[in-house]
Amino acid sequence: MVILGLSSFYHDSAAAILRDGAVVAAAHEERFSRIKHDPGYPRLSIDACLKFAGLTARDIDVVAFYEKPLAKLDRVLDTTMAVAPKGLKRWVNAMPAWFTEKLRVENVIADHLGFEGRFVYASHHESHAASAFFLSPFDEAATLTLDGVGEWTTNAIGMGRGKRLQLLEEIRFPHSIGLLYSAFTQYLGFEVNEGEYKVMGLAPYGEPRFVDVIRANLIEIADDGSYRLNLKHFEFLYGDSTIAPSFAELFKAPARDPSAEVTQHHMDVARSIQAVTEEIVLKQARYVRARTGASRLCMAGGVALNSVANGKLLAAGIFDDLWIQPAAGDAGGSVGAALVAWHSALGNERTKFAIDGMSGAYLGPSHSDDEVAAAVKSTGLTAERLEEPALIGRVADLLADGKVVGWHQGRMEFGPRSLGARSILADPRRAEMQSRVNQSVKFREGFRPFAPAIPEERADEWFDLRGAKSPYMLLVVPLLEQHRKPISAEDAKRTGLDRLWIDRSTVPAVTHVDFSARVQTVSAQVNPRFHKLLHAFGERTGIPILMNTSFNLKGEPIISSPENACHTFLASAMDALVLGDHLIIRPDDRPPTKTLPAPPAKFAPPRTAHDLRVFGMGGGAILCVIALLQNWRGHHGVAGFFATAGLALAIPGLFAPMTLAPIEKRFGAVGRVIGHFNGKVMLSLLYLGVITPLGWLRRRVSGDPLTDTRPAVGGGHWRAMDHDPDKRDHYERMF
């Protein structure tokens, strides 16, 4: 059985193919469209996954969507009722997408694939939990999912046993640790839903001096890790901004302009919200352990990508084992939805995995030698093809000599991390690599940290992983003492980003200011070529570690194809590029261009002959009717004009409809502008004339629609969930 899983229409759209319970392909739409965090229908990733799996649309048995659109619309409408008359602009901007895409998932799929079979709708946090539990190596485990918001849920606890996964308790919108972290992302001048990891990277340079301010004014945290936000300091319910003006007043400084310098104040704010996040994660983990009795934990949701908090959770030893979905964000919901369909909606048994069900996250497409050759030729580069031992040796020599190497191998990673398939590699012994790769190769902020990749069997010699593995780069753990260097008295006085330049270890380019590192452990079984490269570098230098970062420039998605790799190589200051078995050395006459080709235009379905015939003959008929009316009124000249125009449309429409394509395209563009304007007017009238008075009446009669009136579980803010995975008809509905 083939199941197509989809996540789309919010951010990070993706597609996944499940065949008989195993994930055979998964990919982010952004990698093909070249639009960062592309939220659109994942047409390109669907096509890529089907092609790689050797399938066509006819082979799909079930399509699974990662959330329930009507339940999400219910939350949107209740929020609108709660804040009206505020939020007019947000209402007008948001509603068209509901009627053109979000409530028409089945129609969009039918238009693209011709699929009219079975649809399954999983809830958002069920998709997250399923992506974690069903692909973990555990037969029994608790689940903890944390993100911004799905339909209503922002944070959920579940329990998985075998093929059964039940969600037990939740925290509901508008209370959300993900939205709180995003609020600080905006305050610190980074882009919401994109720059949260920058906040995490900035935090070690600061001091947690605003923790009490956050606890006293922004969030109430219970002993069980549940929480409530003080909504008066936020605008995400009704505005374009996440934070209200009073938010900045709490920190006695305005929000940072994205182009402004990062100061010690900003570092301290980042450290403070990171500390609060870690507190919540640890308290929730202890509560989950007590609530479920499970000794293993699986995590997903955007907050589960906070690798610093994950490292603290590992160190706390609350659970015996921890497994985090590498595509923990919304993209991973595509995989989770497919698994919900397979196990919960269809009742199939669990699939047994040798390691886990993510195959090292190498689930995207790979590329042939012909594709490599075409990319090299199109960019005017010269490649040398080598057998693997020679290739590994040459690349290890280049890296040991201080060269920066682009590394494009095998299947593309699924998830936000480059794990040795679409990576930029460098020597971690050289302290200058931190700034060189950040500023000259990737053109991004200099404080951004890099990850060490190390053979799995050597990891415990370097990092305090407590026996755990970290194949997906999701754990920040301490570097062992024997690899650290003493800090001089002069260096100890440094503050802020000046601490970046302290030589603190034998691998300074991957050691954070607090002597920690976001480790990737590489398995010889899962990624043999990358594993061999690490050993070869270790043989030459005595250190089996490489600095690994994603193969992209600032603001760009991670590369997918050899063509992407060549263009990014030429735009940056990388010294060499490896495409499969092919090695390219940067020519002396090709300095960095610092620019990339424009992304391809978004796909628009071609107009068929039938569409154009309807346009030509229908439009021609309307114009001829107008001509008759004008002639009846005695306006013969005007009538002649309309009659001529009508025949000019109708005749080609009847005999040669494809010749009307350019005219229909322009006509459609004008019509969309008019329709967009008219739509905004109508939505504004609906909001002011209907929604606003209804919202006022509802608040007067039944109170705030966003208040969760269900009784709390225990003494905190958790609420019991009405979720029974055995009621399979639930999965047929959009609510």
Half-sphere exposure of 605 (CA within 13 A, CB side): 13
Domain closes at, from 228, 251, 277: 277
Q: What are the backbone dihedrals phi and psi of residue 24, each rounded to the nearest 5 degrees, phi first?
A: -105, -20
Mean model confidence pLDDT for the chain: 94
685, part of any domain: no
Residues 555 and 645 in one domain: no
700, part of any domain: no
Q: How many CB atoms lie within 10 A of CB 632?
A: 9
72, part of any domain: no
**Looking at residues 246-256, what average pLDDT do you find?**
97
> 3-class SS at 423?
strand
| Total domains, the chain | 3
Q: How many helices (H) and strands (E) does the chain have?
A: 23, 22
The one-letter code for the residue type at 261 is E
CB 88 within 8 A of CB 701: no
Residues 551 and 482 in one domain: yes
pLDDT tens for 178-204 read: 999 999 999 999 999 889 999 999 999
Cα 52 to Cα 5, 45, 114, 365, 455: the distances in Å are 15, 10, 20, 6, 29
Q: What is the rounded CA–CA span in Å between residue 292 and residue 78?
A: 32
> Per-residue pLDDT for 711 more than 90?
yes
Contacts of 389 (CB under 8 A, 6+ apart): none
425, part of any domain: yes
Give the pLDDT of residue 636: 85
> Per-residue pLDDT for 672 more than 70?
no
Residues 553 and 421 in one domain: yes
Single out the residue of 243, 67, 86 nearest to residue 699, CA to CA: 86
pLDDT tens for 10-41 read: 889 999 999 999 999 999 999 999 999 999 99
Q: What is the rounded CA–CA span in Å between residue 615 and residue 550?
A: 47
Cα 351 to Cα 21, 340, 731: the distances in Å are 6, 13, 21
N-term to C-term CA, the chain: 25
Domain closes at, from 256, 277, 298: 277
- Quick one: CA dihedral 66, 70, 76, 82, positive or negative? negative
Residues 577 and 619 in one domain: no
pLDDT tens for 412-438 read: 999 999 999 999 999 999 999 988 999
Give the pLDDT of residue 674: 67
Residues 545 and 440 in one domain: yes
Half-sphere exposure of 147 (CA within 13 A, CB side): 25
CB 650 within 8 A of CB 624: yes
Chain position carrying tokens 């229909």:
664
Give the pLDDT of residue 449: 85
pTM here?
Answer: 0.92
Give the pLDDT of residue 662: 86
381, part of any domain: yes
Residues 474 and 613 in one domain: no
Residues 542 and 626 in one domain: no
pLDDT tens for 292-345 read: 999 999 999 999 999 999 999 999 999 999 999 999 999 999 999 999 999 999
Q: How many CB atoms lie within 10 A of CB 257?
A: 8
- Provide Rg for the chain, Cα atoms: 28
Q: How many CB atoms lie within 10 A of CB 401?
A: 10
Contacts of 457 (CB under 8 A, 6+ apart): none
> Per-residue pLDDT for 409 more than 80?
yes
- DSSP code of residue 229: E
Percentage of the residues of the chain whose pLDDT score is greater than 70? 98
Cα 613 to Cα 583, 618, 649, 709: the distances in Å are 53, 8, 9, 56
**What's the token pair of residue 506?**
């034998």
> Per-residue pLDDT for 603 more than 70?
no
For helices 692-702 and 69-83, what crossing angle results, to 10°?
90
667: pLDDT confidence band, cut at 50, 70 and 90? confident
What's the CATH number where 209 sits? Answer: 3.30.420.40
What's the CATH number where 543 sits? Answer: 3.90.870.20
Using alpha carbons only, give the angle 698, 700, 703 rounded to the nearest 5 degrees. 75
Give the pLDDT of residue 605: 65
**What's the token pair of residue 264?**
């010690």
Region of poorest pLDDT, from 39-53, 390-404, 620-634, 718-732: 620-634
336, part of any domain: no
403: left (phi over 0), alpha (psi -120 to 50) or beta: beta
714: pLDDT confidence band, cut at 50, 70 and 90? confident
Provide the domain limits for residue 544.
369-585
634, part of any domain: yes
Region of poorest pLDDT, from 48-62, 382-396, 409-423, 685-699: 685-699
Contacts of 711 (CB under 8 A, 6+ apart): 719
- Quick one: CA dihedral 332, 335, 338, 344, positive or negative? negative
Cα 566 to Cα 215, 397, 542, 569: the distances in Å are 48, 21, 31, 5
Residues 579 and 630 in one domain: no
> 3-class SS at 373?
helix
Partners of 18 in beta bridges: 3, 23
Domain closes at, from 666, 691, 712: 666
715, part of any domain: no
**What's the token pair of residue 347?**
């009742």
Residues 396 and 542 in one domain: yes
Residues 563 and 616 in one domain: no
- Quick one: CA dihedral 269, 272, 276, 278, positive or negative? positive
- DSSP code of residue 350: P
Report which of residues 449 and 149 the model is more confident about.
149
Residues 407 and 452 in one domain: yes
Single out the residue of 450, 475, 454 nearest to residue 465, CA to CA: 475
CB 342 within 8 A of CB 348: yes
Single out the residue of 271, 253, 247 nearest to residue 183, CA to CA: 247
- The H-or-E segment that residue 320 falls in is none
Residues 615 and 568 in one domain: no
Give the pLDDT of residue 675: 62
**Looking at residues 645-665, what average pLDDT do you find?**
88
Q: Name the maximum alpha-carbon separation found in the chain.
A: 98
Give the pLDDT of residue 606: 66
